[in-house]
Amino acid sequence: MTHQPQQSPQFFLTAPSPCPYLEGQMERKVFTHLIGDKAAEINDLLTQGGFRRSQNIAYRPACENCRACVSVRIVVQDFKMTRNMKRVWQHNRDLIGRPQGAHPSTEQYALFRDYLDARHHAGGMSDMTVLDYAMMVEDTHVDTKVIEYRKRGPESFMDPKNDGELVAAALTDVMSDGLSMVYSFFSPHMPERSLGTFMILDHIERARAAGLPYVYLGYWVEGSRKMRYKTRFTPQEHLTANGWKRYEG
């Protein structure tokens, strides 16, 4: 008898654990492995169905008594910056964003560590080591980039090595219909730059230039202060029980 390889992903359910977004709630996730030559195709389909990627795992909430997590994607073609977003964009004109392969560096980890210690010191990622960070970046079977944002130096256009210090980075999946921002981090010592907002704006422009219709931001949770920023980037679409629905804010 010939063995036929498994073509369809197998899904598993996690045990309940405390929700990181809503106090008093418990969360469960359904997940599958993203491996093999169909990983990118499966990741596209699952992301369009509300899943997120973490290393070689695609997951989505499967909570028994809560449906607060809503998948969000920005509609690139119709997006227009607000006045405040234009100010953020102008303020960061001295930054250069360069896509790299999914290769971690000690410089990235130092910035990542600085970001976690300042912004998420009590979070689930707070004890990540340099090896954990390397796995987060490298363990991918899809088209993943690390977009590094550096201060523009006087020789930047002639010699990329003179781009200056790394101030922000985004781990981004390139999909058939958009860019998925898997994880981003930035220097916590430059609040005037609003680097988190800038990176989303930059991804919108990158998607527009590539002819991709969406930028996927992951989950928005109504009532969660840390998720509130995501609904500022309109128009966007939210995934509902009846498919993706337009949201204007």
Burial class (CB in 10 A: 0-12, 13-18, 19+), 10: exposed
For 205-248, how does the pLDDT look when each residue is reduced to its tens digit (9 = 90+)?
A: 999 999 999 999 999 998 888 889 999 999 999 999 999 999 99
Q: Evaluate whether residue 112 is within a structural domain.
A: yes
Distances (CA, A) of 144 to 175, 229, 246: 9, 24, 27
Do 139 and 215 sit in the same domain of this protein? Answer: yes
Quick one: pLDDT band at residue 249, thresholds 50, 70, 90?
A: confident
Query: Do residues 208 and 160 share a domain?
Result: yes
**pLDDT tens-place string over residues 164-205:** 899 999 999 999 999 999 999 999 999 999 999 999 999 999
Summarize pLDDT for 70-106 with one digit per residue, the tens.
999 999 999 999 999 999 999 999 999 999 999 999 9
Whether residue 140 is found in the same domain as residue 51: no
* pTM, rounded to two decimals: 0.91
30 and 115, same domain (yes or no): no
Is 117 in the same domain as 28?
no
Please indicate, yes or no, if residue 43 is contained in any of the structural domains.
yes
Q: Show the domain range for 25.
A: 12-69
State the chain's maximal CA–CA distance in angstroms.
Answer: 66
Residues 95 and 171 reside in one and the same domain:
yes
Percent of the chain with pLDDT over 70: 91
138 assigned to some structural domain: yes
* Mean pLDDT to the nearest integer, 30-58: 96
For the chain, the residue count is 249
Residues 91 and 207 in one domain: yes
Please answer whether residues 73 and 178 qualify as being in contact, where contact means their C-beta atoms are separated by less than 8 angstroms: yes
User: Quick one: how far is CA 52 from the chain centroid?
Assistant: 9
Supply the DSSP symbol for 4: P
Number of domains forming the structure of the chain: 2
Residue 132 shares a structural domain with residue 51: no
Of 48, 69, 90, the residue that ends a domain is 69
pLDDT at residue number 4? 44
Same domain, 105 and 179: yes
Assess if residue 4 is contained within a domain.
Answer: no
Does residue 5 register a pLDDT over 80? Answer: no
Are residues 239 and 137 part of one domain? yes
Residue 122: pLDDT over 70: no
